A and B are shown apart, each in its own frame.
Chain A
Amino acid sequence: MNLTLSREDANFLDEVRQTLAPFDDTNGFVVSNTTPALKAFYKALAARNWLALSWPVSAGGLGRSPLQEFLLWNEAHFRNIARPPQGVGVVAKTIIRHGTDAQKERWLGPIRRHEATFALAYSEPNAGSDLGSLQCKAVLSGDRYVLNGNKCWNSKAHTVDYLWLLCRTGEASAGKKGLTLLIVDAHAPGVVIRPLKLMCGNMVTEIFFENAEVPVTHRIGPENGAWRLITEALADERYVHFTPGRVRRDYFVLRDWLEAHGKLADPAARRRFDELAVQVLQAEAHVLRLLTNEGDASGIAASNKLAHVNTIQAIARAAIELGGIEAMVLDEPTSLHWRQTMTESIGGGTTEIMESIVARQRLGLSANR
């Protein structure tokens, strides 16, 4: 067993802390945020090429380890700064693996410089967890695809330059074997994006395509061959989106709030809140399992997401229950955390889907109804 950071990793963590400190509480994480401060943060990372931290050197990245990528984003979450932009993970890493040379030349530079931003456009009103049944249709016409249909629940699509679109090019009966990935200009004619406000104040969107045209050169990977690409890409995100840093931050913020309001003076209340610290550590334990795993980690990644979400929701519930009526004031952190954490068990894979993955991968059970 070795849980000691190498000198190189420890030094990197020091550098991360110094670099990120000026951006503390940028708040690009909890609420939908397009402020100059958030852009400045991403630009500061781009200046160090840290948006391409773990990309291969041959693709313009720094070739660093998943551990360093985790250390960077865990720190950003702990400091309430931001999650990574979606372009640098799923999008860029898929292009690196499956894009043509021309596509790599076209997209990777702007992404790592934070000059081209992306939102994922996968889910639809009738295809949330079951992406194999999605209906948004792309038909090839000459050198362009013509898009019709709609998407829903897409984070930040109203703030970005491009959509990373999963659409149907094959027959509906082909299910997940009839899907294709396209890069769509979010401001192209025929593309309409409307924000939908969540209960926490964050924004998701619904997107409508009406004869929107996409150059065939914007197709990533083979036609009807997207399924393997998107499932493969899920592994790219497993270290960086659901980190224990965010869990710890929630715990400390709510503990400080409860103490400031005298709500932990009762030993029983203190004990209950102290016991939640164990769940915080368990969330870190799951990340350690991920970072040290050498095989198929999809089950561990699902466990990590579940532990993360279950813990932040438990902290939020405890803070409300221990905080009394003061905790219900709408702009208090107690109230905001409760509202925000409720959305986390839906986005990024629902709790039900994640539990099914754990049951299948870890216990050999195929839960399907």
Chain B
Amino acid sequence: MGLSLRQDESVAAVADSVQRYCASLPAGIAFRELWRGLADLGLFSLPELFAESACAATVAGMEALGRRGIGGPVADTLTFAACAPADLLEPVIAGATVACLGRLPLVPFPDMPAIHVTNADGKAVLLDIASAEPVDMLAGEAWARVTGSTGRDLGPFATWADRYDIAISGWLVGAGLELTEAASAHAAQRVQFGKTIGEFQAVAAPLARAIMALDSSKVLVETAAANLDAGDACLVTAARWSAARAAEQAAITAHQTYGAFGVLEAGPVFGRSRRIRQIASQFPQERPVDAQAALGSGSLGILDRNCAEAVR
């Protein structure tokens, strides 16, 4: 079998299912209903159903959600489903409870039952919340400023962070791709000075740079996910860094391409760009890129790593 970037059929089917579900959603659907639908779809069972390709399936599902702009603590919940002990999973997988990762005092705080996890000295631990004051956040989602105490030890936090980072990277790539493709479609039909604005290099070139960054980030994120499924986290921090920057670049370019339409609060960009901006540096906070682990030391990175597998 030759080199291929094409996803396995079962992984691609996850993206298709999520896309179909998102397309069927009525406008203004309540969060609880949305969440239950995602659970019924089997989204929160992905870590269990796709044991050996769970990260790849997660990225595929999250990219589809990012394309539709579906927010909420989905990455948190998928991470919980992958990393938490079995006795805590049932209500989360069923969509009755949302899992939220956060760092005190600001944490996601959706309007439904939630289980909170935080990082305490390198350990993932349950967070028992004592008080919560709702806070309006840039991303436009339900968060709160909370007090509380840490509880049960759920294992090394780095494992949770790897899973979270790979999931959120998929969302960022999807959101960025959607914004850039939509902005390009706008540029292809919006006429100024007697031409479509996409005919001007000053408009087309930033869009080209944005899509290039996203296309390579997508490869990097999907490769990092495949490696993580094989037990190697070497590319995860690089993938998240890449996806965050590419999505931010896409958002800025989309704002500018749409002109005044692009800076309307209810316009075609802000709903997605506000979340990209927040997520790009959101908890568990962007970790420094582990350049040594990501790059290796030879003439190739991605292929060298897999070359060694083949020879062995």
Task: Name A residues whose Cβ lies closer than 8 Å to a Cβ of B.
Answer: 1-7, 9-11, 13-14, 65, 67, 74-75, 78-79, 244-245, 248, 251-252, 271, 273-278, 280-286, 288-289, 291-292, 300, 303, 306-307, 352, 355-356, 358-359, 362-369
Contact = CB atoms under 8 A, between A and B. Distances in A.
Given A2-B4, A276-B291, A359-B204, 19 more contacts: A1-B56, A3-B5, A5-B3, A6-B1, A7-B310, A67-B2, A278-B242, A281-B301, A285-B220, A286-B219, A292-B2, A356-B201, A358-B208, A358-B212, A359-B184, A359-B205, A359-B208, A365-B198, A367-B198
Interface in B159-204: 180-181, 184, 187-188, 195, 198-201, 203-204
B176 to A, nearest CB: 13
Nearest to A76: B299
5 contacts: A5-B310, A78-B298, A280-B295, A362-B211, A367-B198
B295 A277 contact: yes
B209 interface: yes
Contacts of A1: 4-8, 56, 222-223, 226
B299 A362 contact: no
Contacts of B259: none
B208 A355 contact: yes
A203 B302 CA distance: 34
Given A367-B200, A367-B203, A3 B288 contact: no
Interface string B108-145: 00000000000000000000000000000000000000
B238 A277 contact: yes
- Which 6 A/B pairs are nearest by Cβ-Cβ distance? A367-B204, A78-B299, A277-B291, A365-B198, A285-B219, A359-B204
A355 B289 contact: no
A237 to B, nearest CB: 19
A356 B204 contact: yes
Contacts, number: 196
Contact of B188 (A3, A358, A364): A364
Contact of A3 (B3, B209, B215, B238): B3
Contacts of A355: 201, 204-205, 208-209
A79 B195 CA distance: 48
A365 B294 contact: no
Interface residues of chain A: helix, strand, loop or mixed (majority): helix
B195, B208, B222, B226 — most chain A CB neighbours (10 Å): B208
A275, A281, A367 — most chain B CB neighbours (10 Å): A281
B interface, how many residues as a size bin? 35 or more
A369 B223 contact: no
Nearest to B218: A285
B299 A74 contact: yes
A247 B248 CA distance: 24
Nearest to B306: A4
Contacts of A244: 300-301
A3 to B, nearest CB: 5
Contact of B241 (A10, A275, A356): A275
B61 to A, nearest CB: 16
Given A2-B4, A364-B184, A289 B219 contact: yes
A13 B198 contact: no
B220 A282 contact: yes
